[in-house]
Amino acid sequence: MPNTSSQITLQINGEARTCASQTLLPQLLEQLGLNPRLVAVEYNGEILHRQFWDRTEIQAGDRLEIVTIVGGG
């Protein structure tokens, strides 16, 4: 039986972080305390459109840049 609770390491905004393997991007954002509606995500050098977030499973070694969108002006 495969171990689904193993931890993987990834880079978030240049910092090494860990999460459980098989974590989907929206789950990762929640674990980081971020509101998915208020962030933009660059995934391995590409802007990742929101429609793909539910299908994006975080892999070991992934590089994410997460930018919080601030309203007002």
Per-residue confidence band for 73, with pLDDT thresholds at 50, 70 and 90? low
User: Which of residues 37 and 1 earns the better pLDDT score?
Assistant: 37
Cβ 21 vs Cβ 44: under 8 Å: no
User: Which of residues 72 and 9 earns the better pLDDT score?
Assistant: 9
Instruction: Report pLDDT for 62.
Output: 98
Cα separation, 21 vs 45, in Å, equals 21
Tell me how long the chain is: 73
Q: What is the DSSP letter of 37?
A: G
Tell me which residue of 66, 19, 58, 10 sits closest to 42, measured CA to CA. Answer: 66
Cα separation, 21 vs 60, in Å, equals 8
**Average pLDDT of the chain to the nearest whole number:** 92
Instruction: Please state the separation of Cα 72 from the chain's center in Å.
Output: 25
